Chains A and B, each alone.
Chain A
Amino acid sequence: MAMDVEILEDPKHHRYVLNMGPQHPSTHGVLRVLLELEGEYAMELLPVLGYGHRCHEKIAEHKPVKSFMPNTARMDYLGALIYNHGYAQLLERAAGIEVPERVEYIRVITSELNRIQSHLLWYGAYLLDLGAFTPIMYAFDDREHILDILEDVTGSRLTYCYFRVGGVSKDIDDKFVTSTRAFVKRLRSRFPMYEDLVNGNVILQNRLNDVGELTPHTCARYGITGPLLRGTGVAYDMRRAEPYSIYSQFDFEIPTGTKGDCMASFMVRFHELEQSLRIIEQALDGLPEGPIMTPKVPKKLKIPAGDYNSSVEAPRGELSYYLVSDGSDVPYRLKVRTPSYSNLSVVPEMCQGMLLSDVVSAMGALDLVIPEIDR
């Protein structure tokens, strides 16, 4: 690691290297960024990864496909159910398993709750990065309700392993439905407060407007997806672009921005909360009765030889699983395309020439979850 510093340190330019992380308060995990500074302007940035690498993809090559489900939740601990969803869907596609309708509804409701939970945490943590201490407590207050609801039905609060191949592990009950409806109502009533306290604040506007501007072209070059891409005006959301599960049945909008700066992605994420609430409401209204598990899923699930892909919209962008099978019950190769990894790769270009404070706001806008980068 000392070598990176030597490469960057250049006495001719009167620049010096600031080591940000792996224990810096605003990298939100064990991410390390080397900043080559001139005054307070960051001229070069170098993200250093690998502090939390756990070989998830390699682990997948060594055990039966069904038993990899808990690992998916450990990649993105904030979007665990969505990661479950992608993986369950991958195996169902590969093995040709039909999923009961009620299961699809349960998956959509819980996934959207998970997405709201992730966005709320980002909302609080991002504002904490910008120096506002209070909103994180309000956001956590709301988020706590989701964790309670999901704990009741899944048994865990963060790293869920709720979805199974062909179904879900436990049925939802009336209590879940009533508390989810109550939560939808509650969060709606809190939006004006957030707007009032945070979104319209002139200091926040000055901090975020015109900072970290991205163009659709840049996003395409780096493979950036999710709210950052939608902030540039491209309405690309896997739930619409390649409708999976039963998302095509629901009426919801894809919020987009125009400028592609931090403020645009901030507002996109904020409006996505409302859209997720709409999906949850519609799904609760149309929730059918029925089984929660396909009866004929073999214990030892053999995947026919071939390549399989499954993409879902994670809170931070497009998540893809790519499975290569040789016909056995252990994958030959499982490749996971996680959104934060691609989103992080734009940092050196996006943050070039920025003030140190802007680097913090720009990196916060990426909503990085480090275990998803180092997986």
Chain B
Amino acid sequence: MMVTVALFGVLTLVALAPIAIAILAVPLSGKPNATGFVYGACLIVTLILFLLALHVLLEHPAASTITLPLGLPWLGAHFRIDPLSAFFLVVVNLGSAAASLYALGYGRHEEAPQRVLPFFPVYLAAMNLVVLADDAFSFLLSWELMSLSSWALVIADHRRAENMRAGYVYLLMASFGTLTLLLSFGLMAGGDGAYAFDAIRASHPALGTAALVVILALIGAGSKAGLVPLHAWLPLAHPAAPSHVSALMSGVMTKVAVYGFIRIAFDLLGPPQWWWSLVVLALGGVTAVMGVLYALMQRDLKRVLAYSTIENIGLIFASLGLALAFKAYGMHVAAALALTAALLHVFNHSLFKSLLFFGAGSVLTSTGTRDMEKLGGLIHRMPQTAFVFLIGCTAIAALPPLNGFVSEWLSFQAILLSPQLPSWGLKLMVPAVGALLALSAALAAACFVRAFGIVFLGRPRSSKAGAALETDTNSLAAMYALAATCLIVGILPGIFIDALAPVTQMLTGARMPVQTGAEWMSIVPIAESRSSYNGLLVFVFMVITGMATAFAIHRFASDKIRRGPAWGCGYPDASPLTQYSASSFAQPIRRVFGSLVFRAREIGTMPPPGSRAPATLTVQLRDLIWDFAYAPVANAVASIAERLNYLQFLTIRSYLTLVFAALVILLTVLATWP
């Protein structure tokens, strides 16, 4: 029943694409208003789907399935809503609804709406379908649809060469990821092709096969989610798309990839092996640190956000690895805690990353640039955007009382349970990963202090930044809604943790203790004696002390203020370029970590005395992962292709000879085969 309604919603979204094309093609009353229609309809449909999924998650934990006579004739198309897919439907549709609302305003600035509007609803529908699919064929088909429609959105602004390159890299990596997922499903389905998820669940693959499946799924889903070293496409593609699509790709599509991994590793494969978690944990920890280090080195605002997505994906995968480890050793409550941490972070990240990308999009439309070195002082020109962006930054930097802190705190609570694990490998590994996560959390705070401070504080670094205007109401409404949700999750996390209980019950066989009954709305992951956290109290304390401080200052100090010119350090009339810049803010971290991780080199030239030439400081960074993992492959393919190129220009007789020789060789093999 529920799944039928959900499929109707998806069908409506798919139907919007041709309608969008039709409206674009036939301008009604002179000026086409396809933008408003498409995004409005997307908003309504995704809101309905969101409410439906929420209803299923909270009220109907039992799975509901449907089989349609589509796709492979002997298989049909299976769809299903269970708590896991309901939770991810909530994430997908909340993000989609926010993006649609934002795009009602943002979409008006689009230069070529015909390159965005038809693909946008299809993209939303595809993400929903991936989560709904209940057989390998439908899953992979929806997965590819999701990749292709998002690719079309990435190259929407096709005149810029870097976007086309981003699209090309994205397409390659997406095909590669789908290939590994295909292999993994093929291994699970076995020789007789049981592609329905029910059949896969019922069959228990051999240990070696299951291990191979997990590795392949980790590569396939991880390449879509942005796990290092498979992340190379993500910081190129996510910023290239229009901002509301960037928000969806970073905030939602990476989560769909996480869903794919959870579905395979926790649900389809049955009981895990303990050493799987080693791989997932290690990749998660490395991804978190690398992602945030990359983010700190960037000067493109949207690219900073994209790299920060990689960091958060690392955190999520580390928690998932922990959950796998606990589950493998039968520690179900601990597994439920780690899984709850991962899922709550999935939800939280979809909120604040969408919010931040919306903010970046607003900055982009009102200043025309994403380069942080050309921004600054926007808090005066765009106060509301600055306010919500600040909330997003606080949340993603995991500061209480916002939601990012809750999920990261839960992750660390799960890490603190690791000494109970019997395996020495994990006992040593988990604290190391915990240290990596702590490092990445600290660096993320620095990263977002930098992002907010350079973009919104100080003085404008370019005339365009000085002339920026506040963004429109629809965009602001979307951002305020997300910011409010961030705050609510932060101060009342118990409700959300309890809502995740059906999912953990389904995947780990246990749930976290009921939180809503705890005193003072605290959350108590394990026991009162160990640890508890109360976001509401922290929030109330901060509000009261803040107000008291403000009152005290105004009461006792305001009339003591004298206004005078600021001391100019001896340089009157300083240029805005003498402010702290994005690169100078990152310099200490670049010197500590970058010289190792990025081979960062600073080359300073000082003109001789008397010369009027300016001194220069050039920073060289190398992306070692690209240089050592991607470039060799690309070069090898290019050189092989170059060598084989002459095959394009043979004579007809040579081609015939080639065919003939191939035939004779094959026959000879057949004749001499033992």
Do A and B make up one complex? no
Binding site for B on A (CB under 8 A): none
Binding site for A on B (CB under 8 A): none
